Copies of this chain bind each other. A is one copy, B any other.
Amino acid sequence: MTVAPTSLDELCINTIRTLSMDAVQKANSGHPGTPMGLAPVAYTLWTRFMHHNPANPHWADRDRFVLSAGHASMLLYSLLALTGYDLDLKELQDFRQWQSRTPGHPEYGHTPGVEVTTGPLGQGFGMAVGFALAEHLLAARFNKPGHTIVDHYVYGICSDGDLMEGVSAEAASVAGFLGLGKLIFFYDDNNISIEGSTNLAFTENVGQRFEAYGWHIARIDGNDLDGISAALEEARAETRRPSLIITKTTIAYGSPNKAGTAAAHGSPLGEEEVELTKERLGWPPEAKFFVPDEALAEFRRCLDAGKQLESEWDARFASYAEAFPEDAAAFRSAIAGDRPSGWEDILPKFAPGDNAVSTRVAGGKALNALASIFPALVGGAADLAPSTETLLKDYGSVGPHEYGGRNLHFGVREHAMGAITNGLAIHGGFIPYCATFLIFSDYMRASIRLASLMQSHSTFIFTHDSIGLGEDGPTHQPIEHLASLRAMPGLRLIRPADANETAAAWAVVISTSGPTAMALSRQNLPILDAPHDVVFEGTKRGAYVLADAGNSQPDVILMATGSEVQLAVAARATLEDEGIATRVVSMPSWELFAAQPQAYRDEILPPAVRARVSVEAASTFGWERYVGDAGVAIGVDHFGASAPGGTVMEKFGFTAENVAQHARDVLARCREGGH
C-alpha cells in the first residue's frame, strides 16, 4: 500500500477516511469503502482547486461539486463539516438517523452545500452536465471583454455504476457534442461493484468510449496527489472539451482485510476491522470521529480562501455593474428568478369563435410569448421540437461552442434531457423546459422523480397525450401515464382542455416553484365557450365549473380533462335537453385542485351530488377519488390501437352520446339507490 506523500496531507486524508468509517459503523448502515478510496482526490480538489466559500454556499459563481456516486455521501458530509459549511462535525454522528442533516444519500435543500440530490446512479452525472451547460450559457450572455463574471467549473465524481447507466451515456454524449470545457469528472475506477469485481459485467474501455463522445481523457493513480493536481490543471486548461479523469482507487483503502473487495462497498467494515484500519492508517484505534486539530485547521483554510474568492468576485461584479448596469441588473434578476410586473398579460388569449387549435400548438404560442420577456426561458426537445411545438422561433440554437442561443437540441435522449433540465433549473439563472411525447416520459421517469424530490423548477412538456394521437398506435399511445405522474409526490400535472387553459398552465409554471408536467394534445381542440377569466383563473385552481346546470343544483356532474372536456360539454347539451341538470367541471390539474381550500372544492364538486361521471382518454386508475362509489369513470384500461385518432377515440367510447348514456345510467342508479 502506498504512503500518502506528506504528513499533513496524509493526516487530512485519513481524517476523511476515518470519519467515513466511523459514521457508517455507528449507523450500522452505509457505504464506507468509496469515501476511503476517494479521500485523496476529494481532499485535493476541495482544498487546492475548488472555488467555494463554505460561509456562503449560495455564491452565484462558485464552482459546483456533484457527487454522482451519492452512496459515498460520507465523503461529502466529511468535506462539508471539515471545510466549515454550516454542518457541525457532531452531525456526522447522526448519519442516516431520523431528521438528521446527514441522510443516507445527499439531499438538495436539506444539507447546506449539497448542490443536488444524488443516489439514483447516473442522475448526478446528468445534472452536472446541466450545471456546466448553465455556466456556458450564462457566460455567453453576460461576460464582456475584460469583465468575466461567470467563470466557474463543475467538478464531479462518478462511479462504475454511474457510467454503466444509460442516462450518463446520453448525458456524456450531449456534453461531448456541446464541448462543455468547464465540466471535469473524476471516474472512480475501483474495479468493484456490489456483486463483486467489475469483470462480472463491466469490461468496456471507458476512456475510448468517452473519447468517442468528444471528451478529453486523463488517467491517474488516485493516491498520487501530484498526479491528481496535474490532471486537474490539465483538465482546466482544456477549454473545448469536458474532461474525464480516470482514477484508479482502492475501495476501503487502508482496511487490511476488506480493501479492494465488494465487502467494503455497501456494508460497515465491522468494529474490529475499523480498529485494524485505524492502526494501519496511524490513527488511535479506539478514538471515534476523531479530528486532529492540525487537519481541521488545514481544512478550515477553505473558509478564509473562500471569503477572499467571493470578495474578489464581488469586486469584479461591481466593476461590471458600473460598466454594464443593465446587464448587471439582468444577471441579478436571472439569478433571483424575478418576474417583470404584468408578465401575465403577454400570454395569448383565444376566443370561443377562434379556430380549434391543439394544446401543443397553443403551448408553443404561450411559450414563445413568455420567452420574449423571460430571457431565462431556455429549453428544447428530445428530437421532437417540431412535433412538440417547443421551438423558440425568434432565437437560435445552442451548439458546439455556440452558447448564445436558447433552443437546446437534446437528441433522442429523454433521460439525459430530464437530468440536464434539472441541473439547469437548480444551477440558477434559467427557467428550463424540455419536451417529448407523453409516452416517452417513461424513459425519463427517474429524472422527473428527482425533480419532484428536489422541487426543482423543471418544466416537462409532454405532447401527444392520449390515444387521440392516432396512427402511431399502442407503442406511442399513453394510457397509464397520467395516473403514474399523478401518483408521484411533489409533481404538478396539468392537462389543459383548450388554448386558454394551456396559457394558464404556463402562467402556473412561471408563478410557482417546483416541477410541472404538461400533457398536451396532438389533435385540435375547440376553444371552450366560457369567459376567459373563468377558464384562465379556473385552470390555476385545478378545476372549475365550465358550464353549470340549468337550475341551481345539478343532478349530475360531468368532469373531464384535456381533449375530453369537449365531450362533456356536448353531452351536457343533450342531457339538459332531456331535463337532466348537468354541470361540467373542467379539471386540468388534480394537484392544483387538491391544494384549494375545502370550501372551494366542495363548491365545485358538491358532496351532495353523487351522480358523477369522469371522462379522460387514459387509465381510469385513481378516478374513484372524484367520482366516488356512485359514479363512473370513462377511460381506457387497456392498450391503444393504430388508426386515425378520431376513429380510435370513437371505437373506445369517447363520444358525447356514450358520456350522456353513462350519466343517465349513473343518475338512474343513484335515484334507485337513494343516493
Contact = CB atoms under 8 A, between A and B. Distances in A.
A121 B412 contact: yes
Interface in A451-486: 452-453, 470-476, 479-480, 483-484, 486
Nearest to A198: B411
Query: A120, A202, A443, A641 — which one has the most chain B CB atoms within 10 A of its CB?
Result: A443
**Assembly of this chain: how many copies?**
2
A489 B483 contact: no
A479 B208 CA distance: 39
A162 B98 CA distance: 44
Query: A415, A439, A474 — which one has the most chain B CB atoms within 10 A of its CB?
Result: A474
Interface string A194-217: 110000111111111101111000
Given A119-B475, A204-B212, A643-B96, A621 B487 contact: yes
Query: A164, A194, A483, A648 — which one has the most chain B CB atoms within 10 A of its CB?
Result: A164
A47 interface: no
Contacts of A98: 641, 643-644, 647-648, 651
A416 B385 CA distance: 27
A449 B474 CA distance: 11
B202 A105 contact: no
A479 B173 CA distance: 32
A41 B55 CA distance: 63
Contact of A483 (B381, B410, B487): B487
Interface stretch (A3-11, A316-324, A623-631): A623-631
Interface string A266-299: 1000000000000000000000000000000000
A45 interface: no
B214 A212 contact: no
Interface residues of A, number: 111
Contacts of A486: 621
A203 B194 contact: no
Given A120-B475, A165-B166, A205-B211, 8 more contacts: A98-B647, A104-B472, A107-B475, A169-B169, A169-B170, A176-B204, A193-B383, A483-B483
Interface of A: 27, 29-30, 70, 96-100, 103-105, 107, 117-121, 160-162, 164-170, 173-174, 176-177, 193-195, 200-209, 211-214, 266, 381, 383-387, 397, 399-400, 409-416, 439-440, 442-443, 445-446, 449-450, 452-453, 470-476, 479-480, 483-484, 486-490, 619, 621-622, 624-625, 628-630, 637-639, 641-644, 647-648, 651
Nearest first, the 7 closest Cβ-Cβ pairs linking A and B are: A166-B166, A103-B642, A119-B475, A201-B411, A624-B624, A98-B643, A169-B169
